[in-house]
Copies of this chain bind each other. A is one copy, B any other.
Amino acid sequence: MKIYKICFIGASGHWGYLTQGMTSLSNTEFTAFAPSFENENLTTLQNLEIHGQKGKFYQNYLEMLDSERPDIVSITPRYDLIAPITLEAIKRGIHIIAEKPLAFSLEQLDEIKEAVQKAGIRLGIMMGIRYEPAFFTAKKMVAAGRIGEPLLIWAQKSYRWGTRPEWYKKRATYGSTINWVGIHALDWARWVSGLEFREIAAHHANLAHPDFGECQDIATVQAKLSNGALAVFNFDYLRPAQAKTHGDDRLRIAGTKGVLEVIGRENRLYIIDEQGEHENEPLLTPPDFIADFLNELEGKGPALISMADAYKITEIAIKATMAADRQQRVWL
């Protein structure tokens, strides 16, 4: 049995998608971790122990990659560093699971695509919500024709503001809320419906957190999809601290034969089909995030998130951000 050596760069994102599964997988090994920038808070990774093993700390991630020669690297850095660190890992022929968006610009994204093709590695993206039972089941239901052809989509991301790092204050390091938060909802819309984005208009603004003026706390997206279907999205950091859950993820798709709705905070799927209303549709069990990725590496079938998906959803988020910045529609 091949043992996959896994290293971690940065602790600013969802590295937990990997470690959660690793604790019950005997073919993975937590070997090392490094910060993505000086003084990044790595307490969580420092305290992490998997199968009784702690990771080795490196100050410099390039040194870590060169010394450890991992099979897979988890890249969850300050968001502007996702692309440059990803490029370094690709050069070294290491498989990657990176935070989203893969890049802040279309040029960076093209550079990554080209480099991946040359290196022949598998690049994964942390669209982890696809692995939540309600969303996973929604995808299966739509694919099975339960709601007919999808025609109208609404999706929401709403988060508590909580405490955000200093580098959320600058777009140069943060990017945009459409890129960091909204991208999930854009991904569900596309993945669950099976439709492609064709035209996007968007708005974003910071109205409630003046100290973080360049970090948008509200955003909306309006889109036309490949079959003529329409979609709207709203994203915010306005969820009160007193709310029971950090987030309030929602997805609603109305089709020719029915309507489905995912209420993420309740892990609930609500379907109205030709048989009537189903307030609590039984949920399927999705695969584990990292196990699914390893399966594909071993030729046992495609993971839920293809490399094409990772590229496309990054492109969509970048273009939606452009649409908001320029106040112009963009086409795909």
Please list the residues of chain A having a beta carbon within 8 angstroms of any beta carbon in chain B: 149, 151-152, 154, 156, 158, 201, 203-205, 207-208, 217-222, 224, 227-234, 236, 238-240, 242-244, 248, 252, 254-259, 272-277
Contact = CB atoms under 8 A, between A and B. Distances in A.
From DSSP, what is the main secondary structure of chain A's interface residues?
strand
Number of copies: 2
B242 A151 contact: no
Contact of A229 (B207, B239, B252, B275): B207
Contacts of A277: 242-244
A199 B231 CA distance: 18
A244 to B, nearest CB: 6
Contact of A232 (B152, B232, B276): B232
A213 to B, nearest CB: 13
B230 A218 contact: yes
A257 B240 contact: yes
Contacts of A259: 158, 238-240, 243, 248
B222 A152 contact: no
B240 A273 contact: yes
B230 A256 contact: no
B154 A234 contact: yes
Given A205-B228, A234-B230, A236-B254, A274 B242 contact: yes
Contacts of A242: 272-277
Given A257-B240, A277-B242, A232 B230 contact: no
Nearest to A154: B234
Contacts of A154: 154, 156, 232, 234
Contacts of A252: 156, 234
Of A156, A203, A236, A274, the most chain B CB neighbours within 10 A belong to A203
9 contacts: A152-B234, A205-B230, A207-B256, A222-B222, A239-B254, A239-B272, A240-B259, A242-B275, A243-B277
